[in-house]
């Protein structure tokens, strides 16, 4: 069977009872994570702009905007909810920079509303095939070469989930994915320059998933050899390093979604390791900013390009800080354990943090290229001659250094506490309980009632 059709059959036919328990656990964690980051991120910069755009250009429809409760088109809801979910960069991820959940979950909820609801089991199965599709089409650092993995690979996952929920045939699913292939795009220059395009790409991916599946259902076709063709995915994006057949090898037996990362700290995945080491340094040295003579960070070349550049505050300070190891380390030394509030404009512009960040040296170490994606070395020297020196091979939250279950819940509650448009305690408890027992729900749309803030409804009225 051609790899494209094999993937389409997997998406169409995987049964809930065939899904391993550990895969369902990862997807439930992804769901709770994204619901939390969406609530916390709903009022962040750019979200209001996209919401207003959708209200004006899309009009009303069957789908719900998280937090606000507006009823808009399915593609419009996916767009706005995707942007909100990624705004704080506290969502799930996958090396070397793929963010699946913040597009997959908004697209899946939009599809569930589009079809008039679906059971928890059907929703979970759709999330699994979507997450697995994106994870399997994920590439190496070298293959991406600065392309945004989210824009390139996550679009297939969002499309797969929507195709499943719309009950597309295998042939229709193939064409939905083939249309999504023509939406694959995005650059890490958005991250390096600290632009709001980072979160907008996430929304575009979610929107594309809905649009591509709907168009395929209505008869639109795409290139059926979108993986294996002479100008297909394996050639254009994988640079010929992988055969198209490798993307579908052992489908349903080996799950690439198990490579999902859940961040311990509210910043880029490549800042997680150095943040962990900085906390150790602060504890061991018992130091404050004024005690520090010098800090040196060594990163693999790929990480250096994304988060090792000089810390400069541009139009979007939160994004500048999220993608800067200099800021993340300086923030720890000055403020301690990182919190969402440490990435507001006021905190990012703190002169004490900025002054310390300016004294941090970051090195792109070619010898680290063969180490783990998240590897980092940190050295902190104090004015009184003490030194902290340590290395970390696998950052917390990455496979091989998983977060404890209580940390997952703490991250979610941190998001709830940070939200400018909060949910009620009953809603928060309801989300946790419903996600935990998602397979027992008759209709997943009950989750959306818990995702609308009373404060936002009052504002809307």
Other C-beta atoms lying within 10 Å of the C-beta of residue 225: 18
> Does residue 187 fall inside a structural domain?
yes
Looking at residue 461, its pLDDT comes to 46
pLDDT value at position 460? 62
Residues 162 and 70 in one domain: yes
Same domain, yes or no, for 244 and 312? no
Mark the ranges of the chain whose per-residue pLDDT is less than 70.
Answer: 458-461
d(CA 261, CA 264): 9
pLDDT for the residue numbered 108: 99
Spatial distance between the Cα atoms of 147 and 141, rounded to a whole number of angstroms: 9
CB of 78 closer than 8 Å to CB of 106: yes
Last residue of a domain, one of 357, 392, 427: 392
Q: Does residue 397 sit within a domain?
A: no
The first and second tokens of residue 93, run together, are 């991820």
- Please indicate, yes or no, whether residues 302 and 324 belong to a single structural domain of this protein: yes
Q: What is the DSSP letter of 391?
A: E
Residues 6+ apart with CB under 8 A from 184: 151, 152, 153, 155, 156, 233, 237
Residue 194 lies in a domain: yes
- What CATH number does the domain containing 221 carry? 1.10.4100.10
User: Three-class SS of residue 297?
Assistant: strand
pLDDT reported for residue 37:
99
pLDDT digits (tens, 9 = 90+) for 26-62: 999 999 999 999 999 999 999 999 999 999 999 899 9
Which of 392, 413, 441 terminates a domain? The answer is 392
Flag whether 398 is in a domain: no
| Structural domain contains residue 318 | yes
Same domain, 387 and 422: no
Contact residues for 233 (Cβ-Cβ < 8 A; gap 6+)? 137, 181, 184, 226, 227, 244, 247
Task: Verify that 135 and 233 share a domain, yes or no.
Answer: yes
Q: In this structure, what token pair is assigned to residue 219?
A: 């008869």
For residues 169 and 93, membership in a common domain is answered with yes
Q: What is the CATH number of the domain that holds 371?
A: 3.30.1330.120
pTM for the model: 0.96
Domain end marker among 345, 368, 392: 392
Residue range(s) defining the domain that contains residue 219: 3-262+403-460
How many domains in the chain? 2
- Asked if 228 and 234 count as a contact pair (C-beta separation under 8 A), the reply is yes
Residues 292, 191 share a domain: no
Report how far apart the first and last C-alpha atoms of the chain are (Å, whole number). Answer: 55
282 and 315 fall within a common domain = yes
Q: Residue 264's closest CA among 92, 98, 436, 44?
A: 92
Dump pLDDT digits (tens) for 290-324: 999 999 999 999 999 999 999 999 999 999 999 99
* Pair (8, 126) in one structural domain: yes
Do 219 and 280 have their domain in common? no
Please check whether residues 377 and 414 belong to one and the same domain: no
**What pLDDT is stored for residue 458 in this prediction?**
61
- 158 inside domain: yes
Residue 55 falls within a domain, yes or no? yes
Q: Is residue 165 domain-shared with residue 210, that is, in the same domain?
A: yes
Structure tokens at 312: 């400069």
């Amino acid at each position: 069977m051609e790899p494209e059709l094999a993937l389409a059959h997997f998406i169409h036919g995987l049964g809930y009872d065939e899904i391993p328990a550990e895969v369902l656990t990862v997807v439930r964690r992804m769901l709770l994570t994204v619901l939390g980051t969406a609530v916390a991120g709903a009022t962040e910069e750019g979200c209001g702009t996209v919401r207003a755009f959708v209200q004006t250009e899309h009009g009303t429809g069957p789908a719900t905007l998280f937090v606000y409760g507006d009823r808009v088109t399915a593609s419009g809801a996916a767009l706005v909810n995707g942007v909100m979910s990624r705004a704080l960069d506290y969502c799930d991820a996958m090396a070397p920079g793929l963010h699946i959940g913040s597009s997959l979950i908004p697209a899946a909820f939009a599809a569930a509303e589009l079809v008039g609801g679906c059971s928890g089991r059907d929703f979970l199965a759709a999330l699994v095939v979507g997450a697995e599709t994106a994870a399997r089409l994920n590439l190496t650092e070298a293959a991406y070469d600065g392309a945004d993995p989210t824009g390139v690979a996550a679009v297939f996952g969002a499309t797969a989930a929507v195709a499943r929920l719309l009950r597309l045939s295998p042939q229709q699913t193939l064409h939905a994915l083939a249309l999504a292939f023509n939406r694959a795009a995005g650059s890490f220059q958005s991250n390096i320059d600290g632009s709001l395009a980072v979160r907008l790409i996430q929304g575009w991916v979610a929107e594309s998933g809905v649009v591509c599946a709907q168009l395929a259902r209505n008869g639109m076709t795409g290139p059926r050899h979108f993986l294996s063709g002479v100008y297909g995915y394996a050639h254009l994006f994988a640079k010929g390093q992988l055969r198209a057949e490798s993307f579908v090898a052992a489908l349903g037996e080996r799950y690439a979604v198990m490579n999902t990362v859940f961040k311990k700290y509210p910043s880029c995945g490549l800042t997680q390791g150095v943040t962990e080491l900085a906390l150790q340094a602060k504890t061991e040295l018992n130091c404050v900013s004024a005690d520090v003579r010098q800090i040196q960070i060594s990163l693999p070349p790929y990480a250096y390009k994304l988060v090792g550049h000089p810390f400069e505050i541009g139009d979007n300070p939160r994004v500048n800080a999220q993608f800067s190891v200099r800021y993340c380390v300086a923030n720890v030394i000055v403020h301690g354990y990182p919190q969402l509030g440490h990435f507001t404009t006021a905190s990012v512009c703190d002169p004490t943090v900025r002054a310390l960040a300016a004294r941090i040296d970051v090195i792109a170490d070619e010898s680290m290229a063969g180490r783990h994606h998240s590897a980092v070395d940190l050295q902190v020297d104090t004015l009184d001659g003490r030194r902290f020196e340590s290395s970390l091979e696998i950052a917390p939250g990455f496979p091989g250094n998983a977060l404890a279950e209580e940390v997952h819940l703490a991250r979610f509650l941190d998001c709830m506490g940070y939200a400018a448009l909060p949910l009620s305690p009953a809603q928060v408890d309801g989300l946790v309980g419903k996600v935990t027992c998602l397979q027992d729900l008759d209709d997943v749309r009950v989750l959306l009632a818990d995702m609308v803030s009373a404060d936002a409804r009052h504002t809307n009225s």
